[in-house]
Amino acid sequence: MKTLIVTGGAGFIGSNFLHLLRVSRPEWKLVNLDALTYAGNLENLVAFEGAANYRFVRGDIAVREDVERAFAAAVELGGTVSVVHFAAESHVDRSIQSGLPFVQTNVLGTQVLLDASRAHGIERFVHVSTDEVYGSLGDSGYFTEETPLAPNSPYSASKAASDLLVRAAIHTHGFPALVTRCSNNYGPYQFPEKLIPLMIAKAGDGEPLPVYGDGKNVRDWLYVVDHCEAILAVLERGKLGETYNIGGHNEYENIAIVRRVLSELGKPESLIRYVKDRPGHDRRYAIDASKIERELGWRPRFRFEQALPLTIEWYRTHAAWLQRVRNGAYREYLVRQYGG
Ligand code: NAD
Ligand code: TYD
């Protein structure tokens, strides 16, 4: 019997991962350790309320006592414990405003979690990282697992630091960890500060859509369910100590994404505003995911042409969720349950 501590399970990808497990691994026991920063939203997880195999622990991964509370909850549920580590400060623009919370959570928090996980003799630890640790590509080429780390933003630098701490734990202590590095995700429950949900939200309200620089920066988009299935494959079948890139060969310029959102919503391109570029803006990300395809048999199931409309439809049918995030009302739930 498996018990999983999922960190950051109230965020975008973590909550999608929990939903995937609820359906595909109903016998697993789940502990969600999340600090509920601005990016954590318990309204993503109403389906888990009262579930016998699920515990929510509000806590900070950088505080050992909080992490110990999550382990205590896992021990109480029984079974062999593994950890899937999503919790992070995740937005590049915020890291440009202030790098410190990124170092605190992504670097210090990961080390605290590694120390506690090692002390508890866990079975497996999946560290969820990002393709941004590889830096930026020119017009051609792909990131492989051998591409040297060359992060350019405080966000990606803090993620690269955490990857190296995981590597050190593997190398020094024989710690049973695996690392995943995925490209940009989109899908349900994504906080509307990231490109796709921000554009959906603004276009829906007829507000101008801010496109940074010339709009020709390229990202490699993957539907969040595909990412979650890849993480599950790595957790269950990955080789200890290995790193796996995850991506779907789905590169688009930002301006193409923005135009597509507008056309899906039947809104005019006159809403597009080119604005001042992001400082240090990485030009292009593109993932070579052949290792996970070859070794673990994972492949993306969703095509962009299908999953982008699905995502837009999700935001349309969850207009109240989106509105409560945008006007801050989603925090009320938190205040009622946890006093702030
Ligand atoms: P997110 O910002 O939506 O969610 C982060 C979650 O972590 C939130 O629930 C937040 O409350 C929690 N958290 C933050 N600091 C914490 C702390 N100190 N202790 C406990 N919990 C804390 O992020 P996301 O987009 O779901 O990303 C999840 C992970 O996947 C991150 O590690 C990110 O680097 C990685 N990743 C994201 C993408 C993407 O496109 N979003 C792509 C590749 C990798
Ligand atoms: P983002 O979703 O922040 O992800 P990341 O920076 O981690 O790749 O941004 C995706 C791309 O969209 C990136 O090239 C920056 C650009 N972008 C805009 O042009 N306008 C915006 O308002 C935002 C948030 C992003």
Distance CA 218, CA 271 (A): 21
43 catalytic? Reply is no
- Per the document, the length of the chain is 340
Distance CA 53, CA 242 (A): 30
Confidence of residue 248 (pLDDT cuts 50, 70, 90): confident
Map out the domains of the chain with their CATH numbers.
Answer: 2-186+222-250+286-302+329-338 (3.40.50.720)
Rounded mean pLDDT, 154-160: 98
pLDDT higher than 90, residue 321 = yes
Provide the percentage of residues in the chain whose pLDDT is more than 70. Answer: 98
Each residue's pLDDT tens digit, 275-302: 999 999 999 999 999 999 999 999 999 9
* C-beta separation of 220 from 227 below 8 A: no
Identified catalytic residue from 43, 60, 132, 226: 132
**Phi/psi at 210 (5° precision):** -80, 115
CA of 215 to the centre of ligand 2 (A): 10
Identified catalytic residue from 60, 89, 131, 282: 131
CA of 210 to the centre of ligand 2 (A): 10
Distance CA 239, CA 243 (A): 9
Each residue's pLDDT tens digit, 76-114: 999 899 999 999 999 999 999 999 999 999 999 999 999
Rounded mean pLDDT, 25-47: 97
pLDDT higher than 70, residue 334 = yes
- The pLDDT of residue 188: 98
Report the pocket of ligand 2 as residue ranges, CB < 6 Å.
92, 184, 194-195, 198, 210-212, 217, 219, 254, 278
Identified catalytic residue from 54, 134, 142, 155: 155
pLDDT higher than 60, residue 184 = yes
